[in-house]
Amino acid sequence: MGYYAFYVFAFIAVISSLLVVGQKNPMHSVMLLIASFGALAGLYVLLDAPFTAVTQIIVYAGAIMVLFLFVVMLLNVPREEPVIVPASALLGPTGMRIGVLLSLLLAVEVVWAMTRIGIGWFSQGPGAASVSSVALIGSGLFTRHAFAFEATSILILVAMIGAVVLARREHH
Amino acid sequence: MVSLNHYLVLSGILFAIGTAGVFLRRNLITVLLSVEIMLNAVNLTFVAVGRYLNTVDGQIITFFVMTVAAAEAAVGLALVISLFRHRETLNPDAFTVLRW
């Protein structure tokens, strides 16, 4: 059962991510990325991480993607403009080819490195259930990782002020 | 049975797709979306390895990565809006000069 669910979710995630990169219309890209995030949330459920799955849906698909959709609609640029005159040989179709080659190389490299570690089976039984405990995540977050948690709040504050300052309309 | 390696390979593929988007696309919004794909691939690795080692630390790191992703999206989109106001385009090749 979990076997088929993994492949279904993995298929959805990979196909929709490919389509995100392939779409010309940013609006469609955002919608497909939401589908990809939904599939990843399903994978988190399979990995006994319900808290992360719900956070993925609420924070990523709910908040961040709405922000992207808002900007896409605000700027109202439906299509990517075609490349008219490539500034150099690296930006033309040759550049596209180099980009595709580099990404394929990266994919092969990462997949090779990650299959080199040997087959890792997930442990079953009572020890495995502790991973899905939200209480353990909370206690870890507020004790061992308390400093990182507080630093994150500063980061959010800085990002908020930065976004307001950057997007402000300047009055000359 | 699904092993840890299945998740790691899937995460590697997703990361490469995100990299391809950053390389190939000529639209700042799609480039930011590709960065989100890469961040999600890394999140999947953290959660899978956390499950493998029977620890919740993977999920805690994922929580922080999500927070950083939210901050990055907010600042990045503010920059995109600001750039679009000045140039009326989203093509990153239009922003090669270090002045307005």
DSSP annotation string for B31-86: HHHHHHHHHHHHHHHHHHHHHHTT-SHHHHHHHHHHHHHHHHHHHHHHHHHHHHHH
Domain span at residue A43? Answer: 1-78
Measure the CA–CA gap between A29 and A39, rounded to whole angstroms. 15
> Cβ–Cβ of B30/A23 closer than 8 Å?
yes
Q: Determine the pLDDT at residue B14.
A: 93
Q: Is residue A93 part of a domain?
A: no
pLDDT of the residue at B89:
79
Q: Which of A61, A78, A95 is the last residue of a domain?
A: A78
The last residue of one of the domains, among A78, A97, A122, is A78
Instruction: Give residue B77's pLDDT band: very low, low, confident or very high (50, 70, 90).
Output: very high
- End-of-domain residue from the set A78, A111, A144: A78
Cβ(A82)–Cβ(B27) below 8 Å: no
Of A14, A158, A166, A172, which to mutate for an interface test with B (greatest number of B Cβ within 10 Å)? A166
Q: Left, alpha or beta for A65 (phi > 0: left; psi -120 to 50: alpha)? A: alpha
Q: What value of ipTM does the predicted structure carry?
A: 0.90
Q: Is residue A49 part of a domain?
A: yes
Least confident of A39-43, B25-29, B37-41: B25-29
Domain count, chain A: 2
Which CATH number do you get for residue A31? Answer: 1.20.120.1200
Domain boundaries, chain B: 27-92
CATH among 1.10.287.3510, 1.20.1050.10, 1.10.10.10, 1.20.1250.20 for B27-92: 1.10.287.3510
Are the Cβ atoms of B19 and A103 closer than 8 angstroms?
A: yes
Nearest to B12 among A83, A114, A122 (CB): A114
Residue pair B65/B43 in contact (Cβ under 8 Å)? The answer is yes
CB B65 within 8 A of CB B57: no
Listed in sequence order, the residues at least 6 apart from A139 whose beta carbon sits closer than 8 Å to its beta carbon are none
Distance CA(A71)–CA(B19), nearest Å, equals 22
Q: Check A43 against B44: CB less than 8 A apart.
A: yes
Q: What's the rounded mean pLDDT across residues B33-48? A: 94
Q: Which of B8, B34, B35, B51 to mutate to test the interface with A (most CBs of A within 10 A)?
A: B51
Q: Are A67 and B73 in contact (CB under 8 A)?
A: yes
- What is the rounded CA–CA span in Å between residue B38 and residue B18? 5
Same-domain check for residues A73 and A4 = yes
What is the pLDDT of chain A when averaged over all its residues?
84
Token digits of residue B26 = 């000529």
What mean pLDDT is predicted for residues B31-55?
92
Alpha-carbon dihedral sign for residues B78, B84, B90, B95: negative
Whether the CB of B86 is below 8 Å from some CB of chain A: the reply is no
Q: In degrees, to the nearest 5, what angle opens at C-alpha A75 toward C-alphas A74 and A79?
A: 125
Residue A90 lies in a domain: no
Classify residue A85: in a domain, yes or no: no
For residue A87, being part of any structural domain is answered with no
| 3-state SS assignment for residue B99 | coil
Is there a domain that residue A115 lies in? no
Task: Write out pLDDT tens, residues A25-62.
Answer: 888 999 999 999 999 999 999 988 899 999 999 998 88
List CB contacts (< 8 A) between B9 and chain A.
Answer: 111, 114-115
Distance (Å) from the alpha carbon of B46 to chain A's nearest alpha carbon: 11
- Chain A interface, best mutation among B15, B31, B47, B64, by max A CB count within 10 A: B47
CB-based contact, A25 to chain B, within 8 Å:
no
Q: How far apart are alpha carbons A72 and A78 in whole angstroms?
A: 8
